[in-house]
Structure 1
């Protein structure tokens, strides 16, 4: 059997076993829209990813897209096929001969399945968050009156990003804007948004704005992610969301600090805060200026009145002081005269007494001097020399004992009429020893 025969036989067996149309549930991934109008993607188990994940190739040919688009339109525009969306689709299983690949040729879709699954997940996540007390946690954070450091998380260079920047730049240029790029749609969007949120918190901003443009409800599936919702709810920084839709709320809308319809509305709310603050500052400046002028006028009047009162008080005080000074001067002059007279008498008395005391003191000192002279005369060593006494000295001083000299020492003996120099030949230490033997 040929290769074509094998693949044809397998396709026939698949049609016989599954029928003309088989309905399969899964999550869209790797969706691509070809220039020729065909659409290709893979179906995987919801939440599965990584190598070895079972997948089924799906082709939606352009002549089958009209029926699919009609079904989607009937869903009110809430449905859009994109990566990460859970779907239930119908088609024929076949083997694509060019690559011998099992694929589903899609011909129909069940929008109610997708919307129902999303609604179910939405209700489940909200219930869990409410039970854990996370639903209103971020809403309880206070927003700075003037957030000067704002992080915007979006797909940079997108229309939502441009709208936000344009609106913010119209009225306020003082804000420091931290722009963080993130996926806002598809399987990778929840993780990308959580990472961006963490970066914004690390940058110590005053406010975080998560914005994206409008689209179908399925385009916003990332914002129903439970882990993203937890990250927003527990963020220490207030988070504002502007996700470009009015009729539906995502879980992110329910847990954020404040929800807005569009990215432009978020920026407008910021600029309104800034404008209100500027107006408040202008009013405060005007009030301060007017109050200052009024206070200055009042102060000038008060100074003038106080100056006048002070001048009168000084004049009265000077007059009183002048009179008091004249009275005091007269009293002092009179008392000074009396004091001078008394002082002159006291000085004369003290002068006489001092003269008498000086004479008596001089007499006493003269008598003491005569007594000292008589004593000195009586003890003059010359009188002792006249009676035969002598004084013997060595080079070190007077000789007072035999122990103070040694044989060979030179002695100098002073007499009444001269000096005798001699040398020691012998020293006798016996008491009462005679110098002659």
Structure 2
């Protein structure tokens, strides 16, 4: 797995097992030389430092070339023929003879074209055709150990195949894609290398392999319930912080942000630049999701512009799918394809077709929240009114019940007193009649005594009647005061609750109105924006940059012709 480098004039030559590190070498400006199977890098300090560090990290280093005068080994003397004294006879094939014999064996071994399967390792498109390397993993070796062969798809052949298949092969001919091709095996004697001339390509093989891998991953996600995990998260009704994952300077990013600004988005957007195509897409997207989760965003929007179907395959990767499924933040995926849906979109919280549609979804959350607040206010007001009506009805019923109870109780007590009086009088008459014969002699004294006795009983009955009336009146007054206090407390609590809700609604309404630029635009005011920065003074202007201004029915893009300052 070691790689080596050497410096030749103003070029750094890198050789060895370079395939696993081709992206690093490309980032240094390297170009692969297929004939010599080495990389050539224009020399500069940064590139030389990077290559030295890479060789030291993976094993290897500078390639030392010995001069022909160093370590000179004694050469064995050639055998001398007995037939020709003094002459030298060498036993072996010349390189030309060896190459001719190999060429002959290859022609005999591959008399006709063969279908081969391999992974595109490197690819170069030129005006004459497409030049690529097909690779396959070595059996019993590590996953990074590969064997490669050069292949060529001439321009005329590719145009004929495009017409035959009625589709462009550019989507299939991408680095990292596995293809099935009909090739004619050739051998270049001058370089001693095998090359494949591509005659036909089976696009269904590549599409089928991608489809099988995609279906396998979807089945795994469904079996673990991960295809619904992000969809089941509860989205925020007030998403004031949005995480945006897109390519720096992309049309998708500008469309998303412009749509939010156009409708006065009141929150903030945390942008993380990420590669959206190529081999580094998977790692960049995963790291971007993790960073935005740490920022406590309400939603994470993953968006990109259009592109080939081959570029879309990175969003069918298992790593991105797991990052989306396990994210604790709802993810809105707007990958930018109307017909093809990647796995990241299928398992995300919400899928939108375009970056603008994703921005509209964020804005719709506020509209929905405002509508829900208004509905809640109406329900709360209706509920408070209903409660007050119920309490008033209960108060009326309770007053009627108390009045009816008091009247009934007083009537019962009056009847009881009347009955007791009649009983006492009857008893008195019976007593006087039983002893009348014995008390004839004391009639006067008994008459006086009976009068006093009757007076006492009458006075007692009046006292009892008065005492009962006072207690009943006191009880009724106590109940009425309790009812009045309960009614007052209920009214105070209801009005306090209504006032708090009205204050909250007024605050939200004031906030939304303050963020709405439409009233200012109707009065003829506008805003000047340059480089996404609001311009308030001439000193803030960059005369070389264009301006944007907003009107009621659209936006204007302005160019500064001259500047005139107020004195």
Q: TM-score, normalised by structure 2?
A: 0.45
- In structure 2, the partner of 1:240 is 332
Q: In the aligned structure 1, how far is the partner of 2:359 from the partner of 2:142? A: 37
CA contact 2:237–2:368 (8 Å) conserved in 1: no
Q: In the aligned structure 1, how far is the partner of 2:250 from the partner of 2:188? A: 38
Q: In the aligned structure 2, how far is the partner of 1:29 from the partner of 1:131? A: 34
The CA deviation string for residues 273-314 of structure 1, in whole angstroms up to 9 with x for no partner, is: 345557778x69x99xxx9xxxxxxxxxxxxxxxxxxxxxxx
Aligned match for 1:42, one of 111, 116, 133: 133
- Pairwise CA distance, 1:65: 1.6
The CA deviation string for residues 356-403 of structure 1, in whole angstroms up to 9 with x for no partner, is: xxxxxxxxxxxxxxxxxxxxxxxxxxxxxxxxxxxxxxxxxxxxxxxx
- In structure 1, the partner of 2:243 is 151
Q: In the aligned structure 1, how far is the partner of 2:257 from the partner of 2:104? A: 58
Structure 1 residues 31 and 113: alpha-carbon distance in aligned structure 2, compared to 1, 3 A threshold: same
Structure 1 residues 168 and 97: alpha-carbon distance in aligned structure 2, compared to 1, 3 A threshold: farther
Where do 5+ consecutive residues of structure 2 fail to align? 1-92, 382-567
Is 1:221 the counterpart of 2:329 in the alignment? Answer: no
Structure 1 residues 280 and 134: alpha-carbon distance in aligned structure 2, compared to 1, 3 A threshold: closer
Structure 1 residues 4 and 230: alpha-carbon distance in aligned structure 2, compared to 1, 3 A threshold: farther
Aligned match for 1:53, one of 136, 146, 149: 146
CA contact 1:82–1:186 (8 Å) conserved in 2: no
- In structure 2, the partner of 1:62 is 155
Structure 1 residues 10 and 130: alpha-carbon distance in aligned structure 2, compared to 1, 3 A threshold: same
- In structure 2, the partner of 1:191 is 283
Is 1:249 the counterpart of 2:249 in the alignment? Answer: no
- Pairwise CA distance, 1:113: 0.7
1:328-343 superposed matches below 5 A:
none
- Pairwise CA distance, 1:102: 3.1
Q: Which stretch shows the higher mean deviation, 48-57 or 87-96?
A: 48-57
**Greater relative contact order (Cα < 8 A, sep 6+):** 1
Aligned match for 2:177, one of 66, 85, 89: 85
Q: What is the DSSP-based 3-state SS (H/G/I as helix, E as strand, rest coil) of the residue aligned with 2:112?
A: coil
Is 1:179 the counterpart of 2:271 in the alignment? Answer: yes
CA contact 2:137–2:147 (8 Å) conserved in 1: no
- Pairwise CA distance, 1:44: 3.0
Q: In the aligned structure 2, how far is the partner of 1:246 from the partner of 1:3? A: 58
CA contact 2:282–2:315 (8 Å) conserved in 1: yes
CA contact 1:42–1:56 (8 Å) conserved in 2: yes
Aligned match for 2:113, one of 21, 26, 33: 21
- In structure 1, the partner of 2:200 is 108
Q: In the aligned structure 1, how far is the partner of 2:283 from the partner of 2:217? A: 17
Structure 1 residues 223 and 49: alpha-carbon distance in aligned structure 2, compared to 1, 3 A threshold: farther
1:16-415 superposed matches below 5 A:
16-34=108-126, 36-45=127-136, 52-74=145-167, 79-96=171-188, 99-274=191-366
Larger radius of gyration: 1
Q: What is the DSSP-based 3-state SS (H/G/I as helix, E as strand, rest coil) of the residue aligned with 2:146?
A: coil
Q: In the aligned structure 2, how far is the partner of 1:96 from the partner of 1:165? A: 56
Q: In the aligned structure 1, how far is the partner of 2:254 from the partner of 2:172? A: 24
CA contact 2:172–2:203 (8 Å) conserved in 1: no
The CA deviation string for residues 22-61 of structure 1, in whole angstroms up to 9 with x for no partner, is: 2222332333323x24222333348999864323333222
Q: In the aligned structure 2, how far is the partner of 1:90 from the partner of 1:62? A: 16
Structure 1 residues 11 and 231: alpha-carbon distance in aligned structure 2, compared to 1, 3 A threshold: farther
CA contact 1:92–1:105 (8 Å) conserved in 2: yes
- Pairwise CA distance, 1:217: 2.9
CA contact 1:26–1:46 (8 Å) conserved in 2: no
Q: What is the DSSP-based 3-state SS (H/G/I as helix, E as strand, rest coil) of the residue aligned with 1:178?
A: strand
Q: In the aligned structure 2, how far is the partner of 1:46 from the partner of 1:193? A: 27
Cα RMSD after superposing both structures: 3.5
Q: In the aligned structure 1, how far is the partner of 2:313 from the partner of 2:263? A: 33
Q: TM-score, normalised by structure 1?
A: 0.57
Structure 1 residues 190 and 45: alpha-carbon distance in aligned structure 2, compared to 1, 3 A threshold: farther
Q: In the aligned structure 1, how far is the partner of 2:104 from the partner of 2:170? A: 37
Q: What is the DSSP-based 3-state SS (H/G/I as helix, E as strand, rest coil) of the residue aligned with 2:214?
A: helix
- In structure 2, the partner of 1:364 is none
Q: In the aligned structure 2, how far is the partner of 1:174 from the partner of 1:249? A: 31
Q: In the aligned structure 2, how far is the partner of 1:251 from the partner of 1:222? A: 10
CA contact 1:67–1:108 (8 Å) conserved in 2: no
Q: What is the DSSP-based 3-state SS (H/G/I as helix, E as strand, rest coil) of the residue aligned with 1:235?
A: coil
- Pairwise CA distance, 1:171: 1.6
Structure 1 residues 97 and 255: alpha-carbon distance in aligned structure 2, compared to 1, 3 A threshold: farther
